[in-house]
Amino acid sequence: MFKSVTKLADGRELLYFDGTETVRDAADTRDLPALPPASELRYDPLLDEWVAIAAHRQTRAFLPPTSECPLCPSTPERATEIPAASYEVAVFENKSPSLSDRVAEGMEHPGVGRCEVVCFTDQHNSSFTRLDPERVRIVMEAWADRTAELSALPGVEQVFVFENRGEQVGVTLHHPHGQIYAFPFVTPVTRRHLAAAERNPGVHAEELASAVADDRVLGENEHWVAFVPYASRWPYEVRLLPRRRVPDLPALTAEERDSFGPVYLDVLRRLDGLHGQPMPYMAGWHQAPVRAGRDLAYLHLQVITILRAPGKLKYMAGTESVMGAFINDVRPEDAARLLREVEVSG
């Protein structure tokens, strides 16, 4: 894997990741406005959680037509966020970040951190599902590289790598891409995971054993297992665990990175085939914090969908949104069976 680093016209960092050595010297010729200041963090003492207030994001791009996509390669007629005429995987600092190192003077609790966009392909009408394992491997390298680099930034406590797919889950750009957030705090879900692992260090191994016993496994190979959780909150929810317990993406071996793509692509293609349409989903990596609880964390990928049946979305109702008490309309055992029954072509 080869990484090239350059700058956009407003000073934001842009990185290219390629499978073979490639010269990336195209310059960003745009005349860009000044970047917004960092968001403000506000603490909720009732929930013991931080909330980022980022009012400048109201003006970010929202579902532009293909001809105006900012993630497509640049052309002589139109410059985009990616100056190159083509690329494999590109990563750049978000122009409208929820977190950044640009701190406004006098702000008591600035949202210090970083937000990056990860473009999986230069093909606008593609998707992660259509990538081949070789491209997924490059994406994995980009994820691991950015996790390591962002973890070293001052003030960063946790790095979150994720993808949202589909307008139903709030996607504002159709081009296949994900994001990375470098948080200045440990997120609430991660704190709960660490607390559970502290109470029971074998909790992840027990969860996996339960999935095998209850026939909720969707796919596996030498290094990875994909299964439907016993207490799924969402109609179709999948977890992918490496068989070896590691804290984060940089800790994966070359063999583990190689073998992730085939299992994950199979899961995504089963989701797409379930209702005969592209499945809207959210996929996020649960990684160890930068400093706290690294000996307790167990890297895994969580994939959740909100399409419970063709034309029917699972909305966050009052019990979930207000009280955090989830109600799932699909039995996890049935979800696993239906996903296994989907005929998948490579």
* Positions marked catalytic: 177
Question: Tokens 């207030």 appear where?
Answer: 53
Cβ neighbours for 294, distance < 8 A, ≥ 6 positions apart: 247, 288
Question: Is residue 183 within a helix (H) or strand (E), and if so which, with residue range?
Answer: strand 177-183
Q: At 101, which amino acid appears? A: D
Here the tokens at position 101 are: 């190192």
For residue 266, the SS3 value is helix
Q: How many CB atoms lie under 10 A from the CB of residue 262?
A: 16
Q: DSSP H helical segments within the chain, as ranges?
A: 133-151, 188-199, 203-213, 254-274, 318-321, 332-341
Cα separation of 165 and 159, whole Å? 20
- Within a 13 Å sphere around the CA of 211, how many CA atoms are in the beta-carbon half? 28
User: How far is CA 307 from each of CA 163, 264, 279, 300, 331, rounded to the nearest angstrom?
Assistant: 16, 19, 7, 22, 14
Question: Tokens 């073998």 appear where?
Answer: 259
Q: How many residues does the chain have?
A: 346
Cα separation of 220 and 241, whole Å? 10
From the list 75, 78, 65, 73, the residue with the least C-alpha distance to 89 is: 73
